[in-house]
Amino acid sequence: MDQVPIFDVKGAVYSYNETGPPALDGVDLTVMPGEWVAVLGANGSGKSTLAKVCNALLVPAQGACFSLGLDTSDPGNAGAVRQGVALVFQNPDDQIVASVVEEDVAFGPENLGLPSGEIERRVDRALELVSLTDLRKRGSYSLSGGQKQRLALAGALALEPKALVLDESTSMLDPDGRRSFLGCLGELNRLGMTILQITHAVEDIMFSGRIVVLGAGRVLWDGRQHGFWDGKYREFGFSEPPELALYRELASRGLIDPLTAPRVDDMLEALCL
Amino acid sequence: MKFGNTSIGQFIPGESVIHLLDPRCKMIGTFVLLTALFMAGAPWDFVPWVFLLAAMPRLSRISMRAILRSGRPVLFLVMFTMLLNVFWTPGNEIARLGPLRITEEGIVSAFCMGVRLYFLVVFAAILMMTTSPMAFSDGLERILSPLARLGLPVSEMAMMMTIALRFIPTLFEETDRILKAQMSRGADFESGSMIKRARSFIPVLVPLFVLVFARAENLAVAMESRCYVPGGHRSRMRPLVWEARDTKAMSCMVAFAVFSFLWGMCLPKIASICLDML
Ligand SMILES: Nc1ncnc2c1ncn2[C@@H]1O[C@H](COP(=O)(O)OP(=O)(O)OP(=O)(O)O)[C@@H](O)[C@H]1O
Ligand SMILES: [Mg+2]
């Protein structure tokens, strides 16, 4: 199959300053269309830097990054890359530009210079996807932390990107909000959206098909869920969530396909059989 | 202790007659009205303005309380101006406080100054409360567009203003948070001399500045990642359209300004004619 990878990072090195170790120290990562990749790693391991490299906000000093097949070191590609790869940051207050919900969602499409009817359509759809339609006329400052995070996601979705890069974007959500946010991502992923999700929370990665662990600017692990939870996770200081223990038990008894990502639905089905 | 009120003069989303007007209409109209307001020089001149203010809750769907409260941040300034006027206007002396004299003219001009300043702030606040910062900057950008032809970065300036307005509530929140954090560590902002109190604010200002710069940096990165290019072409979800209602509203505002001006000119004459006839 001759698909163009969504992200193709080749030996990327990036330093914020000359002294000290680089933030990215030779990262290789290839993400194909439709994948959902979870990126884990301790504080300062270079996750946010990797996200910015993928979005052409930073250009690697050595090596290269191709996003959507475009070389990010060419400034002429930056516009196309940022439209096709939308970035959602950790703190929604840092990325909400307008004072009214719908105006903020429109900010991205307005920057693309789209006609007003098209902007309106995209705003409607993005708000619908994150279920903020009822709050569209509200002041963005009056939203709760979780609602702001969903607004930030809507702002990214309005660009109609091929890929989403989420930098700890579920950190402010309550368990319910987190579940509905992840449900929303799952829906998008089924529709073909590629997702690169940076997270500290083990619950978050339940849904992703693939796990990448960064440490000190290097890729420590890159593989599928079942391989990761086969003992490797302890080396990186993670503990296994109970859902995953159940998943592995079911898989070892042959009640569930160990090659699929663990999904609650599948597990329930396996248990009811 | 709470630092300021975050809701004063801040945009309140709504669908009132005033909300729906084109921001250009509101901005130019407010400017015309405020110019006329500044020509009011006698206490009676403010009668039409009181009526105009009384109509505002109905037209803007903002409560009278919220409207009047928007003048609160300048109350101190209003008092101060009034005091200066009371004591420093030469004229018919009616009372004496040591070296200070209170004159009839002083009282009249203090009243006019105070009311004028208060009304100015309140009408400006109604403009801000009924216009979203995005719409405001769109309007400003269009009004100033002739300057763009002279090479001024008008659209960047307008975007800067939108963001500044959007950040005001965040700043108040952060200040409040830092104040509370410092107080929980034993800082005292409420007792001691003026100088001591001013000094106790330094540990608040330093983290606030650091935070503002970090915030600005993050926001710039986020805007860039959302395809914002300074000086680049932007389209609008709702392009500004000047409609019939804007022309009507504009005519009303100009008519009101003219009326209040004539009222100020003619009232003394009419009054004296009436007095003569009696
Ligand atoms: N703007 C910056 N200027 C200088 N150094 C930076 C900057 N941003 C990050 N760094 C440094 O680069 C390294 C990697 O940072 P990065 O933000 O990518 O980590 P991270 O994995 O996202 O961490 P976290 O989990 O805390 O978000 C860190 O050592 C950090 O100190
Ligand atoms: Mg980070």
B203-238 residue pLDDT tens: 778 888 888 888 888 888 999 999 998 888 888 888
pLDDT mean over B178-193: 76
Mark yes or no for CB contact B132/A103 under 8 Å: yes
Return the structure tokens found at A93.
Answer: 């207050």
Q: Please, which pLDDT band fits residue A255 given cuts at 50, 70 and 90?
A: confident
Return the closest-CA partner of residue B184 out of B161, B203, B169, B210: B203
Q: Please, which pLDDT band fits residue A262 given cuts at 50, 70 and 90?
A: low
- What is the secondary structure of A26-38 as a DSSP string? EEEEEE-TT-EEE
**Same-domain check for residues B206 and B68:** no
Report the separation in Å between the CA atom of A86 and the middle of ligand 2, taken as the mean of its atom positions: 16
Q: Is A199 in the pocket of ligand 1 (CB under 6 A)?
A: no
Q: Say how far residue B233 (Cα) sits from the centre of its chain.
A: 31
Full-model pTM = 0.81
Ligand nearest to the CA of A216: 1
**Same-domain check for residues B27 and B86:** yes
**Same-domain check for residues B212 and B131:** no
Task: Tell me which residue in B11, B12, B229 faces A111 most closely, judged by beta carbons.
Answer: B229
Q: Is A60 in the pocket of ligand 1 (CB under 6 A)?
A: no
ipTM metric: 0.82
Q: Distance of CA A95 to CAs A87, A132, A267, B91, Å?
A: 10, 17, 37, 59
**Same-domain check for residues B71 and B183:** no
d(CA A24, CA A218) in angstroms, rounded, equals: 7
Q: Is A41 in the pocket of ligand 1 (CB under 6 A)?
A: yes
Q: Indicate the residue type of B53.
A: L
Q: Is A250 in the pocket of ligand 1 (CB under 6 A)?
A: no
Q: Is A122 in the pocket of ligand 1 (CB under 6 A)?
A: no
Identify the residue with better confidence: A264 or A164: A164
- Residue B90 structural domain: 9-152+242-278
pLDDT mean over B257-267: 86
Return the closest-CA partner of residue A182 out of A93, A261, A120, A107: A261
Q: Distance of CA B213 to CAs A94, A245, B220, Å?
A: 12, 45, 11
Q: Distance of CA B42 to CAs A83, A118, A151, B167, B223, Å?
A: 60, 54, 52, 40, 50
Report the separation in Å between the CA atom of A46 and the middle of ligand 1, taken as the mean of its atom positions: 6
Which residue of B225, B228, B229, B241 to mutate against A (max A Cβ within 10 Å)? B225
Share of chain A above pLDDT 90, in %: 38
Within 13 Å, how many C-alpha atoms sit on residue B227's CB side? 29
Identify the residue with better confidence: B200 or A184: A184
Residue nearest to atom 28 of ligand 1 (CA): A44
Residue A223: what pLDDT?
A: 83
The residues spanned by each domain of chain A are 7-91+163-239, 241-273
Q: Which of A242-251, B4-13, B263-272 has the lowest mean pLDDT?
A: B4-13
**Same-domain check for residues B29 and B121:** yes
Ligand nearest to the CA of A89: 2
Q: What's the number of domains chain B is made of?
A: 2
Contact A149, A170 (CB under 8 A): yes
Q: Is A47 in the pocket of ligand 1 (CB under 6 A)?
A: yes
The answer to whether residue B236 sits within a structural domain is no
* Residues on chain A touching B170 (C-beta within 8 angstroms): 93, 141
Return the structure tokens found at A259.
Answer: 């090659």
Task: Tell me which residue in B133, B218, B227 faces A82 most closely, judged by beta carbons.
Answer: B227
Size of interface A-B (CB pairs under 8 A): 108
Residue B9: what pLDDT?
A: 66
d(CA B150, CA B238) in angstroms, rounded, equals: 27
**Same-domain check for residues B164 and B71:** no
The answer to whether residue B2 sits within a structural domain is no
Mark yes or no for CB contact B170/A141 under 8 Å: yes
**Same-domain check for residues B22 and B110:** yes
Return the structure tokens found at B276.
Answer: 């003569």
Q: Which ligand 1 atom sits closest to the C-alpha of A41?
A: 21
Residue A256: what pLDDT?
A: 77
- What is the rounded average pLDDT for all residues in chain B? 85
Q: Please, which pLDDT band fits residue B7 given cuts at 50, 70 and 90?
A: low
Chain B residue with the nearest C-alpha to that of A153: B226
Looking at residue A229, the DSSP 8-state letter turns out to be I
Residue nearest to atom 1 of ligand 1 (CA): A16
Which residue of A111, A134, A136, A143 to mutate against B (max B Cβ within 10 Å)? A111
**Same-domain check for residues B146 and B202:** no
Task: Please state at what angle helix B244-277 crosses helix B23-37, rounded to 10 degrees.
Answer: 20
Mark yes or no for CB contact A97/B170 under 8 Å: no
Contact A24, A60 (CB under 8 A): yes
Task: Tell me which residue in B133, B218, B228 faces A99 most closely, judged by beta carbons.
Answer: B133
Report the separation in Å between the CA atom of A44 and the middle of ligand 2, taken as the mean of its atom positions: 7
pLDDT mean over B39-61: 90
Interval A139-161: pLDDT, tens: 888 888 888 988 999 999 999 99
Mark B50-75 as b/e (b = at least 16 C-beta within 10 Å): eebbeebbebbebeeebbebbbbebe
**Same-domain check for residues B147 and B103:** yes
Share of chain A above pLDDT 70, in %: 94
Q: What angle do CA B68, B73, B76 make, to 5 degrees?
A: 105
**Interchain contact B223–A (C-beta under 8 A):** yes
Residue nearest to atom 4 of ligand 1 (CA): A16
Contact B67, B57 (CB under 8 A): yes
**Interchain contact B237–A (C-beta under 8 A):** yes
Q: Is A217 in the pocket of ligand 1 (CB under 6 A)?
A: no
**Same-domain check for residues B209 and B167:** yes
Interval A54-94: pLDDT, tens: 999 999 999 899 999 899 988 888 889 999 999 999 888 88
**Same-domain check for residues B114 and B221:** no
The answer to whether residue B4 sits within a structural domain is no
Q: Please, which pLDDT band fits residue B3 given cuts at 50, 70 and 90?
A: very low
- What is the rounded average pLDDT for all residues in chain A? 86
The answer to whether residue B180 sits within a structural domain is yes
**Same-domain check for residues B170 and B144:** no
The answer to whether residue B234 sits within a structural domain is no
Mark yes or no for CB contact A89/B218 under 8 Å: yes
Residue B6: what pLDDT?
A: 46
Report the separation in Å between the CA atom of A181 and the middle of ligand 2, taken as the mean of its atom positions: 19
Return the structure tokens found at B38.
Answer: 């500044």
Residue A141: what pLDDT?
A: 82
Contact A199, A168 (CB under 8 A): yes
Options 3.90.1150.10, 3.40.50.300, 3.20.20.30, 1.10.10.10; CATH for A7-91+163-239 is 3.40.50.300
